Amino acid sequence: MVQLLIAAFVIGYLAIVFEHKLKINKAASALVTGVICWTIFILFTASKEQVTDSLLHHLGELSQILFFLMGAMAIVELIDLHDGFEIITRRIITKNKRKLIWIISLLTFFLSPVLDNLTTAIVMISLVRKLVSDKNDRLVFAGAIIIAANAGGAWSPIGDVTTTMLWIGGQITALNIIVKLILPSLICMLVPLLFFHFSLKGDVQAPERNAENDQITTTRFQSKVVFLSGLGVLLMVPVFKTLTHLPPFMGILIGLGILWIITELMHGHRDEEERKRFSVAYALQKIDVPSILFFLGILLAIGALQATGQLTLAADALGSGLKNDNLIVLSIGLLSAVVDNVPLVAASMGMYSLAQYPVDHPFWEFLAYCTGTGGSVLIVGSAAGVAIMGIEKIEFVWYLKRIGWLALLGYLSGAGIYILQQAFF
């Protein structure tokens, strides 16, 4: 059974990694892999009820992540529908490339912890497309956004899916992860940003504006209300968890409900068709459902490996081979540039118990940093990278030559700062 289970997982994983060559969406591969893994498990096990109970237990854990993602995505979409992000774009007036890349990178770094790295990357590359017409300049800005978005998401409990998984799983707490990782994450961004600064010269040329895109669908007051309300409910999620001790997805759901009420009252005077364009129902139609299904499938597959004890065996092998926690986590982080970091973190959570590494142990903190930022080394190594790759049509080899080595330098610099930080404090 074990060989068959691992073979199914590896084949499914390869289908996910080579989704662009196979032209099969990774969500489809993940769903099939997840179900096949549990099917193999139950067919080769005498106690069917025990396998079913184990499946339902894992489903209860991963559903928290899925509901959290759906709620957060819907809130961000609702802000976008009300042109809330225009509040930011209107304030950027500089044309100097060096100044602009600093503004874009720092804005990305501090938005990512609130909006999550994927959403922030999409918002910021959309902003850059409005500010920079030259394709080559825009690609450099895109690389800086990927690095900054992933670095910014790593130090927040809601900034990256992997950090959220560790937070929901009880491996880390919100305040501690912010305090411990903000400096390493900042260094991870600043080192590549200094190289970008000296490689860019002159001013950017803004693209010609399309008159059709200038139509205002909501008033500035409505945009401000939804933008500030949306950010407010997202920021209140960690506070809600701390005060009530309920899982984070409950905080995101009540936040979505509050924003839903605000927008319903705001557009109550409009006719039915106009109200639909600004409703939560419409925002839910625009969220990235394939990504959510991908997480479901891959986490189910990881759950099957965990339930059969394979992750524990893998942890023992990794530990005996490297014999150092920092080297183990650094390796996992670099592996996340090749393989999606969600299953890697899910596997790590299954391989290493809270009895071995308690809450807020340096192992979990360093894991959050490494898996959050290591994916920047390759364009396909993070959700933010894949999204921008699709929007800007960035070539894999171009990114590897121009951006990848800078991302690696930043990754190792931030890791070094974290290790020194632990040694001295």
Q: E strands, 190-343, where?
A: none
Q: Could you tell me what percent of the chain has a pLDDT over 70? A: 95
Mean of pLDDT values over 169-175: 88
Confidence of residue 339 (pLDDT cuts 50, 70, 90): low
Terminal CA-CA length for the chain: 47
Helix 161-168, helix 48-81: angle, nearest 10: 130
Confidence of residue 36 (pLDDT cuts 50, 70, 90): very high
pLDDT over 90 (residue 186): yes
Average pLDDT along the chain? 85
Q: What is the pTM of this model?
A: 0.73
- In this predicted structure, what is the pLDDT of residue 179? 93
Rounded CA separation 103/373 (Å): 20
- In this predicted structure, what is the pLDDT of residue 405? 93
Rounded CA separation 139/124 (Å): 13
Rounded CA separation 321/124 (Å): 41
Rounded CA separation 123/172 (Å): 28
pLDDT over 50 (residue 213): no
Which stretch of DSSP H or E encloses residue 362? helix 362-373
Q: Are 122 and 334 in contact (CB under 8 A)?
A: no
Render pLDDT for 54-88 as a digit per residue (tens, 0 to 9).
Answer: 889 888 878 887 888 788 888 888 888 888 877 87
Render pLDDT for 5-27 as a digit per residue (tens, 0 to 9).
Answer: 889 988 987 887 777 778 888 88
How many C-beta atoms lie closer than 10 Å to residue 37's C-beta? Answer: 25
Confidence of residue 340 (pLDDT cuts 50, 70, 90): low
Mean of pLDDT values over 29-54: 88
Rounded CA separation 112/158 (Å): 9
Mean of pLDDT values over 180-184: 94
pLDDT over 50 (residue 424): yes
Q: Specify the range with the lowest mean pLDDT, choosing from 41-45, 249-253, 309-313, 349-353.
A: 309-313
Q: Specify the range with the lowest mean pLDDT, choosing from 37-51, 248-262, 305-319.
A: 305-319
Mean of pLDDT values over 199-213: 70
Query: Cβ contacts of residue 417 below 8 Å, gap of 6+?
Result: 183, 184, 187
Distances (CA, A) of 376 to 104, 192, 246, 400: 17, 11, 33, 10
Distances (CA, A) of 333 to 349, 382, 399: 14, 11, 18
Render pLDDT for 347-370 as a digit per residue (tens, 0 to 9).
Answer: 788 778 888 889 989 999 999 999
Q: How far does CA 284 lie from the centroid of its chain?
A: 18
Cross-strand bridge partners of residue 96: 203
Mean of pLDDT values over 107-128: 84
Q: Specify the range with the lowest mean pLDDT, choosing from 147-156, 207-216, 364-373.
A: 207-216
pLDDT over 90 (residue 257): yes
pLDDT over 70 (residue 316): no
Pairwise pLDDT comparison (409 vs 53), residue with the higher score:
409
User: To 5 degrees, how large is the angle CA 113–CA 118–CA 123?
Assistant: 90
Rounded CA separation 85/108 (Å): 13
Q: Specify the range with the lowest mean pLDDT, choosing from 74-88, 198-212, 286-300.
A: 198-212
Pairwise pLDDT comparison (225 vs 120), residue with the higher score:
225
Rounded CA separation 125/128 (Å): 5
pLDDT over 80 (residue 420): yes
Pairwise pLDDT comparison (397 vs 229), residue with the higher score:
229
User: To 5 degrees, how large is the angle CA 20–CA 306–CA 380?
Assistant: 20
Give the three-class secondary structure for 96: strand
Q: Are 367 and 329 in contact (CB under 8 A)?
A: yes
Distances (CA, A) of 98 to 102, 111, 129, 185, 195: 6, 20, 17, 21, 11
Rounded CA separation 140/143 (Å): 5
Confidence of residue 261 (pLDDT cuts 50, 70, 90): very high
Confidence of residue 247 (pLDDT cuts 50, 70, 90): confident
Q: Are 6 and 312 in contact (CB under 8 A)?
A: no
Confidence of residue 212 (pLDDT cuts 50, 70, 90): very low
